[in-house]
Amino acid sequence: MNGAGRPFGPWQTRFATPGEAILIQASLHSVQPALRRRLCLGALALGLGVTGALAAPPVGAQGLPDFTELVEKVGPAVVGIRTTERTRGAIVVHYGGFISPELPAFVERMHRSGRFVIEDAAHAPGAELNGKMAGGLSDAGCFSFYPTKIMTTGEGGMMVTSRADIAGTVRSLQHRGRDMDNPLESYVVPGRNNRFTEIAAAMGLSQLRCLPQFLAARRRVAAIYDDLLLKSEVFLPLLANGESRPSYWRYVVMPTLKVDRNELQARLREDKISIDWAYDPPLHLQPVFKTTLGTREGMLPKSEAILSRHICLPVHAQMRDIDCEYVVERLLHHVKEMANLTPQTQ
């Protein structure tokens, strides 16, 4: 099995990905070692950086995240990163399971200037761009298998990488900083036990077998939503372009009317429909970054505007076609009713 640090081979077999796939006790920990390798950044709680506002934070020379403004649109146009001379690399979040079509060009630019890119693919197991799997488009990709995600192992996550140096470091940090090439028990860097359990790995194998069905079901839900919402003109769905196959961890829409999200959420709750939105407050406005980095509201106006307006509709592998139709029918009903009650200034 895969708990004790051997590569998670079935992932690579299923997805024909090169390199290694390594299971780690917590997905955030899977990001941290990749960064440590390049940055010597010690104990930076980069997990926080990763969970991210839609803006992926490039990482400065001291291992501190810089937050980066979105370019124009959410999702498929998300990669527009301001790098400075302090930037050593970037973490790109595949929000909702969407991979930006601009990612390959971005990775190439970053590599040309000696920088790295890590994909935070927490939402994106099985998502694809140009036939390549999420996690395999950069130096390393990190997945979350938390119960709310596309597939689960209860807790924990996985890093995939084709880079032997990163894989070696991750394996070492999985084992409290052990020198994995030394037959003796020799510890060379500070670390802790990040090993995945065999039981969780067994659950992962079973979930991996179901992943194609999970993805197909989510894509079916998204296709129904796309169809109905595009006709509505009240919401702009985040659409997959030709080469992109999102995993649809979230189905993201932007209202074209001014909508009070909280009121809409309360109304839909009465219909037993749950909508939500991510990153409220956005990452850069979390107290930890406001106090440690001096970030403030208004710093990333486009990101803040998008985050404050977007809405995520329910997506689940067990939703039936009539459930999707019901969601859209109730959604449009409430939004139109609310619009009639409020003069629109937007």
Ligand X SMILES: Cc1ncc(COP(=O)(O)O)c(C=O)c1O
Binding residues (CB under 6 A) for ligand X: these are: 26-28, 50-52, 93, 120, 122-123, 144, 146, 157
* Least gap, CB of 52 to ligand X (angstroms): 5
CB 136 within 8 A of CB 158: no
* Least gap, CB of 278 to ligand X (angstroms): 7
If the CB atoms of residues 26 and 239 are measured against ligand X, the closer one turns out to be: 26
For residue 138, the one-letter residue type is S
- With a CB cutoff of 8 Å and minimum separation 6, the contacts of 4 are 195, 196, 198
If the CB atoms of residues 28 and 90 are measured against ligand X, the closer one turns out to be: 28
If the CB atoms of residues 113 and 148 are measured against ligand X, the closer one turns out to be: 148
If the CB atoms of residues 124 and 328 are measured against ligand X, the closer one turns out to be: 124
CB burial class (10 A; 0-12, 13-18, 19+) of residue 109?
Answer: middle
Q: Strand 140-144 to strand 157-161: parallel, antiparallel, or no bridges (unpaired)? A: antiparallel
If the CB atoms of residues 93 and 228 are measured against ligand X, the closer one turns out to be: 93
* Least gap, CB of 245 to ligand X (angstroms): 18
Comparing CA positions, the residue from 157, 126, 120 lying closest to residue 140 is: 120
> Measured between alpha carbons, how far is 177 from 168 in angstroms, rounded to an integer?
10
> Measured between alpha carbons, how far is 104 from 261 in angstroms, rounded to an integer?
34
Comparing CA positions, the residue from 323, 287, 328 lying closest to residue 311 is: 328
If the CB atoms of residues 46 and 324 are measured against ligand X, the closer one turns out to be: 46
* Least gap, CB of 102 to ligand X (angstroms): 18
Owner of token pair 């440590």:
36
DSSP 8-state symbol, 118: E
* Least gap, CB of 346 to ligand X (angstroms): 29
If the CB atoms of residues 97 and 334 are measured against ligand X, the closer one turns out to be: 97
If the CB atoms of residues 33 and 335 are measured against ligand X, the closer one turns out to be: 33
* Least gap, CB of 340 to ligand X (angstroms): 36
* Least gap, CB of 143 to ligand X (angstroms): 8
Scored b (16 or more CB within 10 A) or e, 44-64 reads bebbebbbbbbbbbbbbeebb
* Least gap, CB of 180 to ligand X (angstroms): 23
If the CB atoms of residues 92 and 335 are measured against ligand X, the closer one turns out to be: 92
* Least gap, CB of 279 to ligand X (angstroms): 8
DSSP E strands, 211-340: 235-237, 244-245, 251-255, 311-313
**What is the full DSSP assignment across 153-207?**
-SS-EEEEES-HHHHHHHHHHHBTTB-TT-SS--B-S---B-PPPHHHHHHHHHH
- Angle at which helix 27-39 crosses helix 164-174, to 10 degrees, equals 120
